[in-house]
Structure 1
Amino acid sequence: MAEQRIAPTPANFAVWFHYFAGSHDDLRNAIDLLIDHNRPFDVRTNQDLFDTYVAPQAGAVAFETSERLHALMGAAKEFLATAIADNHSQMQAISEVADQGKAGVDPKALVAQLMSELARAATRATRLEAGFAEKTRELDVIRDSLSKSEERARTDTLTGLANRRALDEFLRKAQATADWGEPLSVLLLDIDHFKTFNDNFGHGVGDQVLRLMAKVLREKVRAHDLPARYGGEELIAVLPDADLATCVEIAERIRRAIADCRITRRSTGEVLPSISISIGVAQYRSGEAISDLIERCDRALYLAKGGGRNRVVTEIELDRAGAAG
């Protein structure tokens, strides 16, 4: 932690305890990627790691859900036991009426008795049906709660994009498909001069800009692509079934949309200076590690920054730059 200049807070200790204990593969992969790409472990990145991989809310939700399901199953067992007992009582009563019929009892009295038994059975059935309907509604509530909890666990709280956990899962699935011959491309974007922007206007405005970037990214990628927050001010999009040319086209669409944005400070109405982004683009090579794909994207991104910013650079230009060097 000292080597990465990480503040010794309880949340940060929890993150790195799990990292060195090796108890969370996704957390280890996320931290290793950050270290490999020389990403700073700033306050926001540390909080993202804690919220995504360590936060205790998931355990609390799981415990609460388990308790509610246990109570629900207990109630369902009681309903079923009651239904079985009622059914047995009803069959016994009807059998007794039948026996009286054989004994020559007045048919009118038998009909009245039978109608009475059937009415009681109908009442019991209605009551049981209402009870089961109520428990079904409770089950729907639990299912909805679990779904929302899972969604929160996979979503970055600031931008609303997929977080690193969701990104890692999506990349693993996309890689498996790509190894069968389908193209897979990735774009990595970073806001130009974002530190200066934050210093001049404050982190609140910086967060507003990040949310705007996320909105544009979400709108410009395709429905089956995954836009996600990679870390800090870097956003990423994974594009299954997209070759390098398609990915570049989408990246340019994003870059132009950002350049056309006009940001207004909410507190004062002040129109802020325009912003721009740099984007690196790379295509997956069958059999390679995902970290290698992202590393090429990262190098292309920094070549874009070194080349003047507000531009898209692909891995092809990396090869050219290497040849020229």
Structure 2
Amino acid sequence: MDTSLDDLDHDYAASIADRAMRAMAEQRIPPTPTNFAVWFQYFAGSHDDLRNAIDLLIDHNRPFDARINQDLFETYVAPQVSAVVVDTSERLHELMGTAKDFLATAIADNHSQIQAISDVAGQGQAGVDPKALVAQLMNELARAASRATRLEAGFAEKTRELDVIRDSLSKSEQRARTDTLTGLANRRALDEFLRKAQTTAEWGEPLSVLLLDIDHFKTFNDNFGHGVGDQVLRLMAKVLREKVREQDLSARYGGEELIAVLPDTDLAACTEIAERIRRAIAEAKITRRSTGEVLPGITVSIGVARYRVGETVTDLIERCDRALYLAKGGGRNRVVTENELDRAEAAG
């Protein structure tokens, strides 16, 4: 059974939260919402597979790096979101059943009204007093109007419920595609976007990617704490989002690596955008929120590559990644393209 804070009393939940935070500190795991969700579930004991996976990693002295943390969340915690989908499905099924009943009632009432009016017409032909016929007809029409009003109110209520469900689904889908720390697209959204962009690029349209990594980020975290590190990462994400176009996708690739996918953009244009990003970050002033202290500047290294028809998306990103690490090896705070990478690899 899944465990949530609502299922536990306050003291028990607080003790689990405390154990989770202490364990994360011991393993040097950033206290992000997704990481906390993983370790809260671990100590709550509600997920045997998650417990076994973490115990195995600890037994083998595996470091809990960004990729492992993300994999643990996506494999064992994120699927719980499916409960929202199941609940929504059940609510939709109930609404559809109600709508079906409303329609059946409306059809039956319509048949009854037609039959009643036909009976009145038959009585008219039989010489019944016209005043009585008019009164009877008015009564049938009033009953029909009353039934129609009730049906209309019922449909209006269900329409409002449907709007709530639609809004809930939209928000759930958005959360499922967004990285909680940076607000950028997550790996799921990135993979979907890349697949679509690759299809277009196969027809000859240019497609370029830039991959950036914060220089000396581990040292920065060690000196100023993961909370300030998260603030810096959000700043990087903000700059990235502002420097690319609306039709581009900026995403968190993993850890302190961010990525931007630029359809209909050649290598030169992508390199120019990468340079704007690099300069904007290098010129940014970072202030500790709690004290107002101005912190040392942050720089990024960026690799840029263009899609080659026939290759896989993995090939493209790997080439971009090699260019990124060439930038780091060349002194950091610089942009390196696949052209420079080709020349460096050819030179040996």
TM-score normalised over the length of structure 1: 0.86
Among 190, 194, 197, which residue is 1:167 paired with? Answer: 190
Among 269, 284, 292, which residue is 1:261 paired with? Answer: 284
CA gap 1:13/1:212 in 2 versus in 1, 3 angstroms = farther
Question: Whole-Å Cα distance in 1 between the matches of residues 266 and 319 of structure 2?
Answer: 15
CA gap 1:254/1:311 in 2 versus in 1, 3 angstroms = same
Letter in 2 for 1:42: F
CA gap 1:52/1:154 in 2 versus in 1, 3 angstroms = farther
Among 58, 64, 79, which residue is 1:42 paired with? Answer: 64
Unpaired runs of 5+ residues, structure 2, are: 1-26, 30-37, 54-61
1:246-325 map, 5 Å: 246-325=269-348
CA gap 1:173/1:15 in 2 versus in 1, 3 angstroms = farther
Identical-residue share of aligned pairs (%): 79
Tell me the residue number matched to 1:225: 248
Query: For structure 1, which segment, 263-272 or 199-208, has the greater mean C-alpha deviation from structure 2 after superposition?
Result: 263-272
CA gap 1:316/1:15 in 2 versus in 1, 3 angstroms = farther
Question: Whole-Å Cα distance in 2 between the matches of residues 293 and 246 of structure 1?
Answer: 17
CA gap 1:300/1:16 in 2 versus in 1, 3 angstroms = farther
Question: Whole-Å Cα distance in 2 between the matches of residues 284 and 222 of structure 1?
Answer: 18
Letter in 2 for 1:48: Q
CA gap 1:13/1:201 in 2 versus in 1, 3 angstroms = farther
Q: Give the number of aligned pairs.
A: 299
Tell me the residue number matched to 1:245: 268
The answer to whether the 8 Å contact 1:248/1:281 transfers is: yes
Tell me the residue number matched to 2:104: 81
SS of residue matched to 2:260: strand
CA gap 1:189/1:41 in 2 versus in 1, 3 angstroms = farther
Question: Whole-Å Cα distance in 2 between the matches of residues 233 and 297 of structure 1?
Answer: 16
Question: Whole-Å Cα distance in 2 between the matches of residues 231 and 69 of structure 1?
Answer: 36
Matching of residue 56 in structure 1 with residue 88 in structure 2: no
Residues 291-323 of structure 1 deviation map (CA, whole Å, 9 limit, x = unaligned): 111111111111111111111110111122223
- By how many angstroms is 1:164 displaced? 0.8
Letter in 1 for 2:68: N
Question: Whole-Å Cα distance in 2 between the matches of residues 322 and 316 of structure 1?
Answer: 10
- By how many angstroms is 1:45 displaced? 2.9
Residues 202-261 of structure 1 deviation map (CA, whole Å, 9 limit, x = unaligned): 000001111111111111101111101100000001111111001001101111111121
Question: Whole-Å Cα distance in 1 between the matches of residues 321 and 286 of structure 2?
Answer: 27
CA gap 1:243/1:149 in 2 versus in 1, 3 angstroms = same
1:57-136 map, 5 Å: 57-136=80-159
Unpaired runs of 5+ residues, structure 1, are: 18-39
Q: Which has the higher contact order (CA 8 A, sep 6+)?
A: 1
- By how many angstroms is 1:276 displaced? 0.8
The answer to whether the 8 Å contact 1:52/1:165 transfers is: no
Question: Whole-Å Cα distance in 2 between the matches of residues 77 and 230 of structure 1?
Answer: 46
CA gap 1:14/1:73 in 2 versus in 1, 3 angstroms = same
Question: Whole-Å Cα distance in 2 between the matches of residues 172 and 12 of structure 1?
Answer: 34
SS of residue matched to 1:56: helix
TM-score normalised over the length of structure 2: 0.80
TM-align CA RMSD: 2.4
Residues 9-29 of structure 1 deviation map (CA, whole Å, 9 limit, x = unaligned): 758955998xxxxxxxxxxxx
